[in-house]
Copies of this chain bind each other. A is one copy, B any other.
Amino acid sequence: MRGAVDDSLSLRWMRDALDLAKSAASRGEVPIGCVIIAPDGETLARAGNEREATKDPTAHAEIIALREASKKIGSWRLEDCTAVVTLEPCAMCAGAFVHARIARVIYGCDDPKGGAVRTLFSIGQDARLNHRFEVIAGVLESECAAELSSFFAKLRALGKK
């Protein structure tokens, strides 16, 4: 699952995504963050989850970041772009990455309940679909997982879950 991205770049992007996840948690959102990186390394879009604030079931960090990046470059094709996300994307977000022709998905920790690029499905590697992307897993894995565990532990303590 290791690809051709410089490790120091992956770490820098994931730290940014992790900051977005922490910021989401402070607003009561599930702490997941995503950044979209252009082929030249520029950050095109940054987003955290906004489902609770917007009441929108599609407002995952990845979808918001994809929409913002597409708006920025004026095209739904994000060819040669990289998505960096703290948690393994779900089927919705993995499917959206296929539609956007994303070249590479770098993520932090696996999602055993809904992960769709490696764990439950392998949507980025499915030869039946019209696009495939590279997957790099495990960047800042423990930090990304800890952020989620801490958030859900607090919810449980508050009796909300």
A interface residues, Cβ below 8 angstroms from B: 51-52, 54-60, 63, 66-67, 70-71, 74-78, 90-96, 98-101, 113-114, 116, 120-121, 123, 126, 128-130
Contact = CB atoms under 8 A, between A and B. Distances in A.
Among A95, A101, A121, residue most surrounded by chain B Cβ atoms (within 10 Å): A95
- Count the copies: 2
Contacts of A90: 95, 99
Contacts of A130: 113-114
Contacts of A66: 57-58
Contacts of A96: 57-58, 92
Given A51-B76, A76-B51, A91 B123 contact: yes
Contacts of A71: 55-56
